[in-house]
Amino acid sequence: MLSCIANLPTHLRYRPRNLLLFGITPGPKEFNSDQLQHFMKNYIDNLLALYDNGIFIKTPEHPDG
């Protein structure tokens, strides 16, 4: 499963180097929609937490993030 970077221009958005791999489903066959939603729940929960809370990255110029 892949995500794209939505704020890139359309002609760059789906190039392989700009896609983010976030999961590979296990098993010899594809999941149905219910199984896939269960598999993606943790990923979506993390995206929502990131959107709500943001992220702090410490750098030498900004040690508090």
Q: How far is CA 35 from CA 39, 42, 48, in A?
A: 6, 13, 20
CA pair distance 32, 3, nearest whole angstrom: 19
Identify the burial level of 54 via C-beta atoms within 10 angstroms of its C-beta, where 0-12 means exposed, 13-18 middle and 19 or more buried: exposed
pLDDT tens digit sequence for 2-14: 889 999 999 999 9
Distance of CA 48 to the CA centre of its chain: 11
Does pTM top 0.75 for this prediction? no
* Under 8 Å between Cβ of 31 and 39: yes
Q: Are 26 and 34 in contact (CB under 8 A)?
A: no
Encode pLDDT of 1-60 as tens digits: 888 999 999 999 999 999 998 888 888 888 899 988 988 898 899 889 999 998 888 899
